[in-house]
A and B are shown apart, each in its own frame.
Chain A
Amino acid sequence: MIAEDLALLREGLVALLREHDFDVVAQVDDAPGLLRVIAGHKPDLAIVDVRLPPSYTDEGIRAALEARRRQPGLAVLVLSQYVEPTYAGELISEEAGGIGYLLKERVGDLRAFLDAVRRVAEGGTALDREVVAQLLAPRRSQPQELAQLTRREHEVLALMAEGRSNSAIADALVVTPGAVEKHVSSIFGKLDLPASDSDHRRVLAVLRYLQATG
């Protein structure tokens, strides 16, 4: 289902997703509508705009969190005109996966966008690279361990934090999956994080780590 107040975008998204074999069960244009529809349709994934009527502020974020509370396991992909780490932090502060926070303009890159939609729907994570960049931005009190990472490891960490799988990271960096595997285990070692199989769990581990120390 889709919650977006601008008809132009909403219709476009619906058409796009239907073209690619997604079943769009409902579309609404405000936050109360989102909660109402979720109760009725029990969708797998909600795509939500941060700014929704009536207050045009952060209605979408609050509605998305409320929707997840009412329907545990509901995957939520939040679209926003701007990147606000505070909102991303609120979304990923929950244990469960199925979370995405992307800039609206990413819908232009259809492959990546559809990939993110699928990933979130399946319980994975999709964070905009801008969010990740802000979380990984060099800071004075940056954890010592982060400074120990090599440049390549930094790149891998950033892609990992976006929610990409090892093979996707390998594609993006044009290296073999085995090399990515090595980088990932090195990163986990340097950051002293427990190794984990599931994509979204390791993303959460990384982000939790960054938030706690950042």
Chain B
Amino acid sequence: MSRSPLHSGSGGLRAGDRDREAIAELLRAEHLAGRLDSDELEQRLERCLAATTYAELDAITADLPRRRRAVRAASRPRPHRPGPPGPPATMRGVHVRRVLRGLAGLVAVLVLAIWALASSGSPFWPPWVWLGLAIPFALDAAIRWAWRRPAGAARQAALVWGVGAVIEATLVVIWALVWIIAGRAAYFWPAWSLLGILAVWGVHWILVLRPRLDRASANAELAAQVEELSRSRGQAADAQAAELGRIERDLHDGAQARLVALSMQLGRAELALEHEPGARRLVEDARQEASRAIADLRDLSRGIAPPLLADRGLAAAVRALGARYDAEVEVDPSLEPRQLTPALERGAYFVIAEALTNAAKHASAQRIAIRLALAPPGLCVTVLDDGCGGADPGGSGLGGLRGRVEALGGTLTVTSPAGEGTSLEARFPIGS
């Protein structure tokens, strides 16, 4: 019993909910930073939620740079947490316990000697004294065993169960002593106390432990669902962007190309019919109809994927957009073409386009500035104008913008005091 929890290494110690939560938080941060992909995050979160000791938690974060800080942060509350007064855990406590144990042993032997010398023939009474001596030690051991559990439900349960077990064991020993020493075959009366203790355990289980366990598992389930949802939302956004790109390509190579070829053939027919003005007129009308269809398709595919965005990426597309609105454009020089997913490029592009429309149309801004900055672990898009401000953050325009940003896991902040211009900032996580 010389091993004190606070003086041993923490590896074998049992970890608590708070520790697991801290590690889960760290894992999510590393996922955002790009060190863990979604699958790995998923696996590690599962291991983390199932981990019972610090050694297991350590193993989960062993290959991550921020692990030391996180593990320290996770274990920090332990020494400082004010708890109910527990058994002495200092070296002094250990010494006191050792001395007491020695004394108790001595008394036990003395009692045996006194019985042997003084009263041969009297009933064998020393076990009663031994029992009296043993009870405090048993209680002490049970409480310290309980104290080694992580604080919270587990420790509480261990206390209830440990103390209950000691009481019941004492009663059973008393019954056994009565039976052995007195030679009387009494019926097993400790059964009644056992029933009582079982009742206490049962009530504790029903009122305290089970609700906690249910909550914990419900929380874990919710966390897993949130994780799953945000992952599948990201995948859906990527899939949608890829699909839109494919549709745009199909339009370009299919319908648009055929219409262009058609209009060329009609043009040739027009020339061939030079001497038949009536037929020529008809062909010319047909050709113009084809031209209008091509223009319609062009507008459609521009809405799907602005050509410059598809061809040259976000930075070039935003510069062109800025030029159209006379806006100052500042792009982070470290932003590489094709660094962002198509879904994110599209999202950021349309957010900027919509913000510019708002600034020009509703705020009648004179000066507009656009900034694209890489702010790890994400992309920060800012649009500032000097217009009339007073944009309603709950209005349908900004609401739609917010929906677009949040669909990509980002956040939108709009500051628009009346008369002082509008600042719109969208932050997107990269790699979500």
Contact = CB atoms under 8 A, between A and B. Distances in A.
Given A81-B298, A105-B290, A139-B326, A86 B308 contact: yes
Nearest to A140: B326
Nearest to A105: B294
Interface residues of B, number: 37
Contacts of B259: 105
Contact of B311 (A8, A58, A104): A58
Interface string A67-85: 0000000000000011011
Contact of B264 (A86, A107, A214): A107
Interface stretch (B29-37, B186-194, B213-221, B267-275): B267-275
Interface string B307-350: 11011100010011001101000000000000000000000000
Given A85-B320, A139-B326, A108 B252 contact: no
A178 interface: no
A27 B308 CA distance: 26
Nearest to B269: A110
A174 interface: no
Contacts of B324: 134
A54 interface: no
A84 B260 contact: no
A109 B267 contact: yes
B316 A8 contact: no
Interface in A100-134: 104-105, 107-111, 113, 134
Interface string B237-253: 00000000000010011
A108 B258 contact: no
Given A51-B252, A57-B311, A105 B326 contact: no
A81 B312 contact: no
Contact of A12 (B252, B264, B290, B320): B264
Looking at chain A, what size class is its interface with the partner chain?
20 to 34
Contact of A82 (B253, B302, B320): B302
A6 interface: yes
Contacts of B294: 104-105
Given A105-B263, A107-B264, A141 B291 contact: no
A184 interface: no
A9 interface: yes
Given A85-B320, A141-B326, A108 B310 contact: no
B232 interface: no
A108 B256 contact: no
Contacts of A110: 264, 267-268, 270-271
Contact of A86 (B256, B291, B320): B320
Contacts of A111: 271
A105 B261 contact: no
A104 B324 CA distance: 23
Contacts of A58: 311-312
Given A58-B311, A85-B320, A104 B326 contact: no
B249 A82 contact: no
Given A105-B259, A105-B294, A108-B290, A16 B316 contact: no
A9 B258 CA distance: 8
A104 B252 contact: no
B365 to A, nearest CB: 9
Contacts, number: 82
A6 B264 contact: no
A205 interface: no
A22 to B, nearest CB: 14
A56 B249 contact: yes
A13 interface: yes
A190 B310 CA distance: 39
A108 B264 CA distance: 4
B366 interface: yes
Given A57-B310, A84-B308, A109-B267, A9 B316 contact: no
A111 B271 CA distance: 9
A61 to B, nearest CB: 9
A148 to B, nearest CB: 19
Contacts of B258: 8
A8 B298 contact: no
Contacts of A139: 326
Nearest to A15: B268
A12 B310 CA distance: 27
Contacts of B291: 105, 108
Contact of B257 (A8, A56, A57, A113): A8
Interface string B255-298: 01111110111111011000000000000000100110011001
Contacts of A108: 260, 263-264, 266-267, 287, 290-291
Which 6 A-B residue pairs are closest in the complex by CB-CB distance?
Answer: A108-B263, A57-B311, A110-B267, A105-B294, A58-B311, A108-B267
Interface of A: 6, 8-9, 12-13, 16, 19, 51, 56-58, 81-82, 84-86, 104-105, 107-111, 113, 134, 139-141, 214
20 contacts: A8-B257, A8-B258, A12-B265, A57-B311, A81-B252, A85-B323, A86-B323, A104-B256, A105-B260, A105-B294, A107-B260, A108-B266, A108-B267, A109-B287, A110-B264, A110-B268, A110-B270, A110-B271, A139-B326, A214-B323
Given A85-B323, A110-B271, 5 more contacts: A8-B261, A84-B307, A86-B308, A104-B256, A139-B326
